[in-house]
Amino acid sequence: MTTAASASNEPVGPVDSSRIPRYAGPATFARLPRLDEVGGRADVAVVGVPFDSGVSYRPGARFGGNAIREASRLLRPYNPAQDASPFALAQVADAGDIAANPFNINEAVETVEAAADDLLASGARMMTLGGDHTIALPLLRSVAKKHGPVALLHFDAHLDTWDTYFGAEYTHGTPFRRAVEEGILDTSALSHVGTRGPLYGKKDLDDDEKMGFGIVTSADVMRRGVDEVADQLRQRIGDRPLYISIDIDVLDPAHAPGTGTPEAGGLTSRELLEILRGLASCNLVSADVVEVAPAYDHAEITCVAASHTAYELTTIMSRQIAAGRQGQ
């Protein structure tokens, strides 16, 4: 690994796996340097949020971020699908975890928002590893402070636009209703991808449509194919600042058993990765991968899928950062 003390302006990259075995050393994302090892500044900050107090069924996503980091030891520095070496194009660093109060959801939401504000103020884009989907709301609040209302692509088996659970406004099933109510989303450019499964009633869909969301179901992806779906999403998003939020349960349980609320009939990991690659021209300002619950995982299937998902998103951001510098 290039050292942070190097006089070169080149990004500090991952540990050299030809010299230090992949199973040795601390498990930062993709074996990248910690944020403090690059002077506290990065173009893309990979940050964990070990919080799952907003779940409505199976807990365990508080352990997701570190499990994704462990699985990411197998990632390599060149991404052939995007023909890019993301860690050479931009400084990507692991910013550690945001420690949030597990007993007070409101306080936790405020803590995540404040920490995200600090990372974005440093000039970084965020690649967040959850944690449950509650954390998307404070992350979106922070991103909207910098970019204004943002476009949103929400990959998930579920809508996550319900109103409350047991009277609680902040849960993993409500973040995007709150985000619409708060005016931090561009309601002309919102879409769910991969939704499926039973709902509480047709009103769920009616309410969701009123908020501005379009829906691409998992069956749509199967019937129409990833290229057509990616093209539709690109047209909907245009050049708006884009936030991508990925609940790993968008994948079929065969590809992601390690999650709290699995639903049959989901995307394959290949379909998810190919759709993301088809969005490489979009203005991706930050992203998250959430709801990875390793206690229910089998042979790290879910964690591996999540690590590759975060890798594709990081590659998109790194390529855009490098292109922006060349255009200056």
| Angular region, 195: left φ>0, alpha ψ -120 to 50, beta rest | beta
Does 160 show up as a binding residue in the annotation?
yes
How many CA atoms lie less than 13 Å away from 311 in the CB half-sphere? 30
Burial of 165 (0-12, 13-18, 19+ CB in 10 A): middle
Q: Which of 270, 271, 254, 253 is nearest to 262 (CA)?
A: 253
Does 147 show up as a binding residue in the annotation?
no
Which strand (E) or helix (H) includes residue 314? Answer: helix 301-327
Q: Residue 283's CB: how many other CB atoms inside 10 A? A: 17
Amino acid at the residue 44 = V
Does 192 show up as a binding residue in the annotation?
no
Query: Are the beta carbons of 100 and 51 closer than 8 angstroms?
Result: yes
Does 156 show up as a binding residue in the annotation?
yes
Does 308 show up as a binding residue in the annotation?
no
Tell me which DSSP letter residue 133 carries. G
Q: Residue 291's CB: how many other CB atoms inside 10 A? A: 32
Does 204 show up as a binding residue in the annotation?
no
Residue ranges of the binding site: 133, 156, 158, 160, 247, 249
Numbered residues of the known binding site for Mn(2+):
133, 156, 158, 160, 247, 249
